[in-house]
Amino acid sequence: MLSKNISEKLVSSSWIRAMFEQGEKLRKIYGADKVFDFSLGNPDLEPPQGTKNALKKLVLDDDPGLHKYMNNAGFADVREKIAANIQRDTCITMTGKNIIMTCGAAGGLNVVLKTILNPGEEVIVFSPFFVEYVSYIDNHGGKTVISPCDITTFEPDLSDLEKRINASTKAIILNSPNNPTGVIYSEEKLNEIAQLLEAKEEEYKTNILVISDEPYTKLVYDGAKVPSVLKVFKNSVIVNSYSKSLALPGERIGYIAVNNSIDDADSLISGLIYSNRILGFVNAPGLFQKVIAESLDEIVDINVYKERRDILYNHLYKLGFTCVKPQGAFYLFPKALIDDDIEFVKHALKYNVLLVPGTGFGCPGYFRLSYSVNLATIVNSLPLFEAIAKDFK
């Protein structure tokens, strides 16, 4: 009954999911406290109290119509509030009309790609990258083109990028702070990319859309700032999600913000609203649209993540792992101690330590650790990493 495409993909499927299922098995055998699962980016924090209070108030107030259909783009008041928030933070002019509420960032990315891609058009992603991008691009007939980052900084490599852009390039996906590296792309780097894109758009007489996937923008440490993509790129949209910043991943709530500086932005907005409808999202979940509108300045306690990052990073550093110290998100992406990252991850499994191989992010030779796990797991895992490091000395 399965299509050929899905049938083939089920076999290769996701490394992250595979590790998650492996973890479930191990937990059944050894007990949850004996399994050290760093494989999944599932925020273990609870939503901020302000967000929980907003949810309670909305449910108790029980305004009529709260659960009804609204415009496919979302509730008008919610869109206005998000636009005002973006304008306050970036000084970019933004109104509710530019905002389309979506079922998380995954939904938003699919809506954008559905709206812009003609068959065979190319979308550039920088490796390492969130592997689902490839499926999202494929869903809508596009072709993924991978541009490897400079592995000393995990920032885009301009000279490689230049070679990948051609007349079929329709879009570029940026993800900063990055999953899996935690790196924040510098304003300087973004400006260089913008200059390159403008030159290439001129050369090929095309428009290249910068799609900025930003679920981790608020999860930053050490006072780091994430430069505004809307300021740097004329042709840009933000795709955002409250899964990480408000710890609401199961509720599927996010938005697309369309840069006013796009020529005929209104057509693009109409197309996005239409795609949101026909892809079957119809609209972002209503109650949580209202919840996030009441908690735009809320955020989970990032000091909790920072503490975990510091413990893990410092420990791995001492053990001789090479790793760019992440300024954002909740991942570490160290170099494996042998070339074969899959072999390395399999070895860690012997200690009930679950990691994801870099291969799963288009970047062999590395592995990803998610530190959205509780402190006890991290502390108890430290001797295990020590043992693993010893095995490869």
Contacts to a copy of itself from residues 302-361, by CB under 8 A: none
CB nearer a copy of itself, residue 109 or residue 220: 109
Q: How far is the CB of 275 from a copy of itself (least distance, A)?
A: 6
Closer to a copy of itself by Cβ: residue 32 or 387: 32
**φ, ψ (nearest 5 deg) of residue 371:** -100, 25
CB of 268 to a copy of itself, least distance (A): 5
Nearest residue (CB) to a copy of itself, 68 versus 393: 68
Residue 279 vs 342, nearer CB to a copy of itself: 279
Between residues 122 and 341, which has the closer beta carbon with respect to a copy of itself? Answer: 122
Nearest-angstrom CA–CA distance, 217 and 215: 6
> Which one of 1, 29, 152, 202 is in contact with a copy of itself (CB under 8 A)?
1
Q: Which stretch binds a copy of itself (CB under 8 A): 8-16, 158-166, 350-358, 381-389?
A: 8-16
Residue 328 C-beta: closest distance to a copy of itself, Å: 20
Three-state SS at 115:
helix
**Site map for a copy of itself, 28-47, x if CB under 8 A?**
------------x-xxx-xx
Scanning residues 82 to 101, which ones bind a copy of itself (CB under 8 A)?
Answer: none
At 169, list the tokens: 């390039």
Question: Binding string, 101-120, against a copy of itself, x = CB under 8 A?
Answer: --xx-xxxxxx--xxxxx--
Please select the residue that binds a copy of itself; options are 28, 34, 67, 88, rule is CB under 8 A: 67
Q: Which tokens is 318 given?
A: 């001492």
Least Å distance between CB 312 and a copy of itself? 21
Does residue 124 touch a copy of itself according to CB under 8 A?
A: no
In the range 192-211, which residues lie near a copy of itself by CB under 8 A? 207, 209
Cβ 119 to a copy of itself shortest distance, Å: 9
Q: Which of 25, 28, 30, 59 binds a copy of itself (CB under 8 A)?
A: 59
CA geometry: angle 57, 61, 66, nearest 5 deg? 100
Least distance to a copy of itself, CB of residue 5, Å: 7
Rank residues 233 and 385 by Cβ distance to a copy of itself and give the closer one: 233
Residues 220-279 touching a copy of itself, rule: CB under 8 A, are 235, 247-252, 262-264, 267-268, 270-271, 274-275, 277-279
C-beta of 208: minimal distance to a copy of itself in Å? 10
Nearer to a copy of itself, 249 or 365 (CB): 249
Residues in region 146-175 near a copy of itself by CB under 8 A: none
From candidates 80, 89, 132, 391, binder to a copy of itself by CB under 8 A = 132
**β strands within the chain, DSSP E:** 36-37, 99-102, 122-127, 143-148, 169-174, 209-213, 236-241, 254-258, 331-332, 353-354, 356-357, 367-370
